[in-house]
Homo-oligomer: A and B are copies of this chain.
Amino acid sequence: MEKNALKDLLELVAAGKLSPPKALDQLAELPFQNLGFAKIDHHRSVRTGFPEVIFCQNKHPAHVIAIVKSQLEREETVFATRAGDEVISLVCETFPQIEVNHIARCFWKKSRHWKAHPSPRGVITIASAGTADATVAEEARCTIEITGHPCTLIQDVGVSGIHRLFAHQKELRESSVIIAVAGMEGALASVIAGYVGCPVIGVPTSVGYGSHLNGLVPLFAMLNSCASGLTVVNIDNGFGAGQAASMMNQS
């Protein structure tokens, strides 16, 4: 519609009903997005396959319910992250059609208009170091699956018993993108990135204690790896890693 606004303006000029200097003034007043921002946003959602996302943390349960209700009524796809127990209970009671991954603290409902992503380049593998990293790893998996990308999750393959990781060498080598989720000293990302030839996204987690600095230690460790193809997202940001991995996996 913004595009239409522009078109109308230009047609007024073409029809001699608006002089070029006046049109110029009006143009200067039109918000930028009239020139395509909104369209681009639309394009992006089509291209990346991402619905609107509800970040539940710090939101009042009633507000989450209201947003979900509105999305369901408009037949939009619902996707929510960082949902606490109270929110999830309330959502499930109110909207029985909602699907939930309790470990990931995510819930969703694909609308019937929702289309799986057309052309993945391959499989995205998520490898996590310990069972305590499961929340973050599952958040990444939910994020990827909502986009329709194929995804494999390998858990509990931290470097303090590195043979567990190498037992999965085949899956790792056949991945087109890998997400490495690790707390403690975060060495898993380095080891995997040194071992495969595809992009690896490191997700440091806040799992640890003492001098762990709430996840800064694995974050810095991953940033300081000299393994090739390794990039990093914020601590516990399974959603961001899943989103980036889906983008990287598009052909």
- The docked-state distance in angstroms from the alpha carbon of A94 to that of B185 is 35
- The docked-state distance in angstroms from the alpha carbon of A207 to that of B59 is 12
- The docked-state distance in angstroms from the alpha carbon of A21 to that of B209 is 46
With a cutoff of 8 Å between Cβ atoms, the chain B residues found around residue A152 in the complex are none
- The docked-state distance in angstroms from the alpha carbon of A173 to that of B206 is 32
- The docked-state distance in angstroms from the alpha carbon of A159 to that of B186 is 12
Number of copies: 8
Q: Does A220 contact B (CB under 8 A)?
A: yes
Given contacts A31-B167, A210-B237, A211-B224, 19 further A-B contacts (CB under 8 A): A7-B24, A10-B13, A11-B20, A13-B20, A14-B19, A32-B32, A33-B164, A38-B163, A40-B173, A41-B163, A58-B132, A160-B190, A160-B225, A160-B228, A187-B225, A209-B235, A210-B219, A211-B219, A229-B244
Q: Is the CB of A57 within 8 A of B223?
A: no
Q: Is the CB of B163 within 8 A of A31?
A: yes
A126 CB to nearest B CB, Å: 15
- The docked-state distance in angstroms from the alpha carbon of A233 to that of B229 is 10
A232 CB to nearest B CB, Å: 5
- The docked-state distance in angstroms from the alpha carbon of A19 to that of B29 is 22
A residues contacting B by CB (< 8 A) are 3, 6-7, 10-11, 13-14, 16, 19-21, 23-24, 27-33, 35-41, 43-44, 47-48, 50, 57-58, 121, 130, 132, 158-164, 166-170, 173, 184-187, 190-191, 193-199, 201, 206-213, 215-237, 240-241, 243-244, 247-248, 251
